[in-house]
Amino acid sequence: MRALYTDLYQLTMAAGYWMAGKQSELATFELFVRRLPPNRDYLVVCGLEQAIEYLTQLRFEEREIAYLRSLPQLSRAPEGFWDYLRAFRFRGDLFAVPEGTVMFPGEPLLTVRAPLIEAQIPETYLLSTIGFQTVIASKAARILASAAGRDVVEFGCRRAHAPEAGCLAGRASFLAGCAGTSNLEAGMRFAVPVFGTAAHSWILSFGDEKRSFQKLQELLGERTVQLIDTYDTLEGARNAVSVGRPLYAVRLDSGDLLSLSQDVRQILDAAGFHETKILATNDLDEHTIAALVQAGAPIDIFGVGTSLATSFDAPALSAVYKLVEIEAQGEVRYASKNSTGKRTIPGWKQVFRLADRDVVGVHDEVVPGGQALLRQVIANGEAVVDEKNIRRIQSYARQQIAQFGQPGRIVEQSDSLERLDRSCQFFQ
């Protein structure tokens, strides 16, 4: 695991902690989101599998240490610090809500408890992987709601901000309920179903639409999807049915999708291809999909690219990773912050879910009728849960969205947490 997927200041702080003799202090950090992105009612938490993998495999290679030693900011770090990095392992604990859980601002998604340096260094990676995948999963949930039960496939890896982002967007989208992705790496690595057949260049390379359809059908058989709008969409539909079965679907990628889907459906049905589906693409998002569904467009599958793989309208979360308490020599000191717009609540917390509200409380209290959402997933540096059954996670996410994905859910503090908050000494 590449240890330098992080910010410089994580390592300057690590060196400083080591020099100050603070490396053995037990720190508790919480990862949470300050506020929802625009036009979102909830978050679908995603990325825990990668967080667990990162923490359990985090190592500093010799070449990475050599690079760090070359930096002027770390030129005064003593030799003992570099020996510390050579032996570095995450030996702490991680608590997290299950992937697919619906969550709200101010609620801890992850809690890291570890010796101070071990808890500090992961901040950047955890914010990146949890923040990105959660924003994509949350966007996917919004798009799926607009599709009103029709399948949505993620088609956006070519528009993603990097190849790895495209792969993780495929994973996050499927986890939130999509039917699959076009990304083969996501298919291989995470067992996400993959979709896709041919582009316009396939048809253009033949110069004969019908012949290109025949050759594609020879290859794909029962999974044949013909792209019918390279020249004339309705003539393309007629050519597709003239080639005969099997014909799983036809794809529309341009023009007035409402009227074209209606006309194409008539052509398919008139030829007896009632089972053939219509797949629509072309810069779709939740708004265009909702309009098509409300207008009664006979579209069975929506392929969504740029809007989904980049969460185009809200591409980032206000996720933060904050120290909430630290223990040194048997004494616990609670940490909070009172900067304008950036206030944090002290203490190690738990989120309790009730039917009508969420309660954020002290980690070891009991809230009658409340289900504790955060559970331990790493103990002493070792994973204690298996978070890799993505179909099980998808089923759980669908249940969560159906039950809790509502606007305006109440999130309140327990009395115990409020007392702790009032007693804490704030700093700017």
Residues 226 and 224: their CA atoms lie apart, in Å, by: 6
Q: Is the peptide bond before 246 cis (omega within 30 degrees of 0)?
A: yes
In which residue ranges of the chain is CATH 3.20.140.10 found? 8-135+318-423
pLDDT at 26 (0 to 100): 97
pLDDT at 401 (0 to 100): 97
pLDDT tens per residue, range 35-53: 999 999 999 999 999 999 9
Q: Is-contact 233 264, C-beta < 8 A?
A: yes
Q: What is the mean pLDDT of the chain?
A: 95
Query: Could you identify the residue written with the tokens 């930096």?
Result: 71
Q: Which residues pair with 152 in a beta bridge?
A: 302
CB neighbours (10 Å) of residue 111? 23
Nearest to 266 by CA among 294, 312, 298, 239: 298
pLDDT of 428 > 80? The answer is no
pLDDT at 423 (0 to 100): 85
Instruction: Provide the token pair at 71.
Output: 């930096």
Q: DSSP string spanning 309-352?
A: HTTTTS----EEEEEEEEEETTEEEE--B--TT--B--S-EEEE
Domain 146-309 has CATH 3.20.20.70: yes
pLDDT tens per residue, range 298-313: 999 999 999 999 999 9
pLDDT of 352 > 80? The answer is yes
pLDDT of 54 > 60? The answer is yes
Q: CA–CA distance from 8 to each of 71, 183, 289, 383 (Å)?
A: 10, 32, 43, 27
In which residue ranges of the chain is CATH 3.20.20.70 found? 146-309
Q: Is-contact 413 106, C-beta < 8 A?
A: no
Residues 188 and 336: their CA atoms lie apart, in Å, by: 43
Give this prediction's pTM. Answer: 0.95
pLDDT at 19 (0 to 100): 97
pLDDT of 180 > 50? The answer is yes
pLDDT tens per residue, range 99-145: 999 999 999 999 999 999 999 999 999 999 999 999 999 999 999 99
CATH topology of domain 8-135+318-423: nicotinate phosphoribosyltransferase (3.20.140)
pLDDT at 386 (0 to 100): 82
pLDDT tens per residue, range 412-426: 999 999 999 988 754
| 3-class state of residue 78 by DSSP | coil
Q: Is-contact 310 159, C-beta < 8 A?
A: yes
Instruction: Provide the token pair at 219.
Output: 């290859």
pLDDT of 179 > 70? The answer is yes
Mean local confidence (pLDDT), 189-206: 96
Query: Could you identify the residue written with the tokens 């459906």?
Result: 265
Residues 229 and 238: their CA atoms lie apart, in Å, by: 11
pLDDT tens per residue, range 235-288: 999 999 999 999 999 999 999 999 999 999 999 999 999 999 999 999 999 999
**DSSP code for 155:** -
Query: What angle in degrees, to the nearest 10, is found between the helix axes of 79-86 and 8-19?
Result: 120
pLDDT at 337 (0 to 100): 75
pLDDT at 1 (0 to 100): 62
pLDDT tens per residue, range 212-236: 999 999 999 999 999 999 999 999 9
